């Protein structure tokens, strides 16, 4: 199934949107903020893995991108989900049951990413995904919704860093502050966004402002970020950074070669364990 990105991303419709597809006959699209974005009304059975793959690839990938912020990690998480989930699929099964299984697999894979690479405890991740991340296939907040609540200076540095792709040094020169002060402004902007998204209060621990600035630099330049042991305050800022970057139009679309590589392995009759992420 495919629904236009504009209608999903905007989250502005309050009326059900009914979509007729080949395999899932009628689907109700609910407004943003609901627990499940796809409520199956009829034709509610997956009968073969191809149906699951076609319906779930984009939601899994875009959720992975939203909570990792870069293509390489999103591809790793998506691959892990499909490798592990497809090996356990027992079809035919109702669509909601399979979707719930893939939602849980996606949440677990993202949590594993943060635990193994940034030292985030599984308990802390569980507390987060119990709220915002527990509905990973819903429409994500727009970039405007993320930035509008920020004070003027913090909104400016966020726009300069993520949209204008200015370096910390360039932002410092424009604002006539030192580079460390500019990095702290970026950090505080992300902390405010995280607080607005419900990750917790914007704490005044700026000890890892440089690490977060480097993380953002890797997101903006489309590289896999460096790993470090993140403090709770930094973790919230990192999550805010991944959500801001994913909200920029086109960033969370998978590369064609990645989709084709998954399709190729999928079509030959199975996903080998070596194709997962370590």
- Between 260 and 272, whose confidence is greater? 260
Model pLDDT, residue 174: 96
Model pLDDT, residue 18: 36
d(CA 266, CA 248): 30
Q: Residue 41 phi/psi, 5° resolution?
A: -100, -35
pLDDT band at 90; cut points 50, 70, 90: confident
- Between 271 and 159, whose confidence is greater? 159
Place of tokens 């993320």: 146
Partners of 17 in the beta sheet? Answer: 29
> Hey, what long-range contacts does 143-149 have (CB within 8 A, 24 or more apart)?
143/244, 143/247, 143/248, 146/193, 146/196, 146/197, 146/240, 146/243, 146/244, 146/247, 147/193, 147/244, 149/192, 149/196
Q: Which residues contact 180 (CB under 8 A, 6 or more apart)?
A: 209, 210
Model pLDDT, residue 1: 37
Q: What is the DSSP string of 83-118?
A: HHHHTT--SSEEHHHHHHHHHHHHHHHHHHHHHHHH
- Between 180 and 137, whose confidence is greater? 180
d(CA 144, CA 195): 16
Q: Which residues contact 78 (CB under 8 A, 6 or more apart)?
A: 57, 60, 61, 64, 254, 262
Region for residue 156 given its phi and psi (left: phi exceeds 0; alpha: psi -120 to 50; beta: otherwise): alpha
The mean pLDDT of 242-261, rounded to a whole number, is 94
- Between 256 and 135, whose confidence is greater? 256
pLDDT band at 236; cut points 50, 70, 90: very high
Token digits of residue 58? 């984009």
Determine which of 36-40, 80-84, 192-196, 198-202 has the lowest per-residue pLDDT on average. Answer: 36-40
pLDDT band at 116; cut points 50, 70, 90: very high
The mean pLDDT of 167-191, rounded to a whole number, is 97
d(CA 70, CA 209): 20
Question: By the 8 A CB rule, do 71 and 24 touch?
Answer: no
- Cα–Cα distance list, 229 to 58, 118, 211 (Å): 30, 5, 10
120, pLDDT greater than 80: yes
Q: Report helix, strand or coil for 46.
A: strand
Partners of 28 in the beta sheet? Answer: 18, 39
d(CA 46, CA 142): 31
Q: pTM for the full model? A: 0.78
- Cα–Cα distance list, 161 to 75, 154, 157, 224, 234 (Å): 24, 11, 6, 17, 17
173, pLDDT greater than 70: yes
Q: What is the mean pLDDT of the chain?
A: 79
Query: How do residues 144-162 score in pLDDT, each as one tens digit?
Result: 999 999 999 999 999 999 9
Query: Which sequence spans correspond to the domains of the chain?
Result: 5-134, 143-247
Model pLDDT, residue 50: 85
Query: How do residues 32-53 score in pLDDT, each as one tens digit?
Result: 334 444 444 445 898 888 888 8
- Between 131 and 230, whose confidence is greater? 230
């Amino acid at each position: 199934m495919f629904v236009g990105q504009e209608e999903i991303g905007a989250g502005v419709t309050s009326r059900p949107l009914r979509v007729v597809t080949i395999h899932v006959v009628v689907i109700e699209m609910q407004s943003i903020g609901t627990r499940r974005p796809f409520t199956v009304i009829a034709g509610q059975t997956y009968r073969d893995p191809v149906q699951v793959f076609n319906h779930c690839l984009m939601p899994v990938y875009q959720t992975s991108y939203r909570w990792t912020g870069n293509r390489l990690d999103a591809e790793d998480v998506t691959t892990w989900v499909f490798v592990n989930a497809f090996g356990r699929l027992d079809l035919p099964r109702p669509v909601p049951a399979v979707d719930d299984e893939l939602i849980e697999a996606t949440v677990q894979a993202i949590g594993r990413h943060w635990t193994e690479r940034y030292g985030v405890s599984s308990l802390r991740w569980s507390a987060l995904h119990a709220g915002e991340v527990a509905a990973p296939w819903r429409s994500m907040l727009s970039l405007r919704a993320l930035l509008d609540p920020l004070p003027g200076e913090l909104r400016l540095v966020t726009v300069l860093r993520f949209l204008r792709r200015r370096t910390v040094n360039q932002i410092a020169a424009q604002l006539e502050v030192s580079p460390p002060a500019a990095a702290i402004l970026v950090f505080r902007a992300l902390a405010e966004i995280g607080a607005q998204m419900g990750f917790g209060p914007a704490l005044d621990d700026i000890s890892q402002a440089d690490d977060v600035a480097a993380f953002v630099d890797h997101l903006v330049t489309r590289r896999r970020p460096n790993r470090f042991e993140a403090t709770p305050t930094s973790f919230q800022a990192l999550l805010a950074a991944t959500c801001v970057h994913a909200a920029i139009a086109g960033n969370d679309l998978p590369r064609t070669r990645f989709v084709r590589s998954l399709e190729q392995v999928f079509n030959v009759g199975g996903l080998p364990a070596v194709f997962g992420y370590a």
